[in-house]
Structure 1
């Protein structure tokens, strides 16, 4: 058992540092390119959580000098209208990154829309072409949340080579890409999921444990090897008995912090890193304009 509490992996502080670097980079590039980078965020309907995320992204854009080209559609918008808008943005020379804010209302196919985005403007790094680059360890735009996790681990000099990593969750958003990124860093990776037998035993083998399932406080101290690095990707809104709502991760933070050596908080861990990597991807696409 740890005698000291786990060190916090501060995603908020690192995200600020990345944003400040991006701000300087944009200030240097803009006179040559003749315009600021542009990020288009498409939001559909009135999901309150999505509205908060979009607002945060727009604020972050204005902080670093990215022009935010937000488009808000009613929940009644058709698949065809959204597809046509993506095609317009693909052709727009002032737009370097395109993002469809998920989840979409029922009846809309988010995967089909994702396929319509020009891979070079895929700010979320989720287009099959970009995921293919990741599988082949080629350069390309990377999925924002997993890329943010890797950046945070690197910032704290956490060794991955030869370590056992367990990823709980197999989504295309986080579970699968983070597995590939950890493999690329020479970790030995196990993916666990809802059908995994004896999940506790599997998790306890991990030197690095990544929780990305979307179940509040599912990872408890008995599932964590003493001294492990615990990365909590979950963001869940729960309501207390007194009716107050708060954000919690997939990890029972206070109890697990007694066992782990490093841990990410929720909020303030991976969330800000995801936004920072979204801005990074946009600036990366923008920079490409210099070489064309």
Structure 2
């Protein structure tokens, strides 16, 4: 019996006709995230029937007034409203000190009506604020971004059922599942080692039984590593750095990059591209995510997933006394 990677390779071979091959199947984050939202909406309805008057509560804490942060927050609030989550946006002024931010976090931690708390990054304050200290101040029970040291530590040692998995890696896993390709035993390459994407992505794949290689800015012969990957996840923050001819035939390519490059044909004078050169990679991959419309929508969907999960955990703790 052929492995999933073997099936993808056969799919590639069968698509070759007269020197041309079938382009990779596009994995739509827009469609997949909508499926997740519909499932979560039903889950919240079930929760409210079980506990009349109850609603999952989410707080998005923002410091300052960055335009990009405002856009991301509006997307999160819209998704929460659609699902039935009671979401609140707390915006602190740019003049806020670290002590004031920590005080606000402590207040939310103590509020039993709030089941998820995220701190919108980057912090936009005129004062120097320790981002890690702020992130770690969030209660691990409400850390639906999965960024506290406690949740990161649990993930790193494989306690997947006892932590919140960071939203972008969790979304990447959902997109991989949509292909039907199992990660078990596969050679997976992750490019990037950030605390938000690369590092937790490595841990999540490892404990999902993949063989994982993490590449970064100091990695030598990056194309060689990429060429051996059955599954490739890229979160390096460099526009179109991964070229199509690096990609293994039939591989699953998940592009987490969001980069703005000049484009005079656009009214804004720029366009959004990923970390993978999409058009050339699509000629070799078996499956690929687009940018935009790939990983981005899944990050928001997984934030909602974690918030609903946190609310269920709260309900079960209350029921158990």
Structural mapping, 1:208-287, within 5 Å: 208-241=231-264, 244-287=269-312
Conservation of the 8 A alpha-carbon contact between 2:115 and 2:314 = no
Which residue is 2:200 aligned to? 177
| 3-state SS in 2 of match to 1:119 | coil
Task: Name the structure 1 match of 2:46.
Answer: 28
TM-fit CA distance, 1:105: 2.7
Question: What pairs up with 1:47-66 in 2 under 5 angstroms?
Answer: 47-66=66-85
Structure 2 CA distance for aligned equivalents of residues 26 and 168 of structure 1: 36
Q: Greater CA radius of gyration, 1 or 2? A: 2
Q: Helix, strand or coil for the counterpart of 1:213?
A: coil
CA distance in 1, matches of 2:229, 2:269: 34
Which of 82, 86, 107 is matched with 1:67 structurally?
86
Q: Which sections of structure 2, spanning at least 5 residues, go unmatched?
A: 1-11
Q: Which runs of 4+ in 1 moved over 3 A?
A: none
Coordinate RMSD, CA, aligned: 1.4
Q: Aligned partners of 2:57, 2:190: CA distance in 1, in Å?
A: 34
Q: Which residue of 2 aligns with 1:130?
A: 151
Could you say which residue in structure 2 is the equivalent of 1:115? 136
State yes or no: 1:46 paired with 2:46: no
Report what 1:16 is aligned to. 34
User: What is the CA–CA distance in structure 1 between the aligned matches of 2:251 and 2:314, rounded to whole Å?
Assistant: 42
1:82 counterpart (80, 88, 101): 101
SS at match of 1:4: coil
Take 1:116 and 1:48, find their aligned partners in 2: how far apart are those partners? 25
How much does 1:290 deviate? 2.1
Shift of 1:151: 1.4
Deviation at 1:172, TM superposition (A): 1.0
Post-superposition Cα deviations, 1:234-263, rounded to whole Å, max 9, x if no partner, equal 111223145522211111111111111100
TM norm structure 2: 0.88
Matches of 1:29 and 1:193, distance apart in 2: 43
SS class of match (2:141): helix
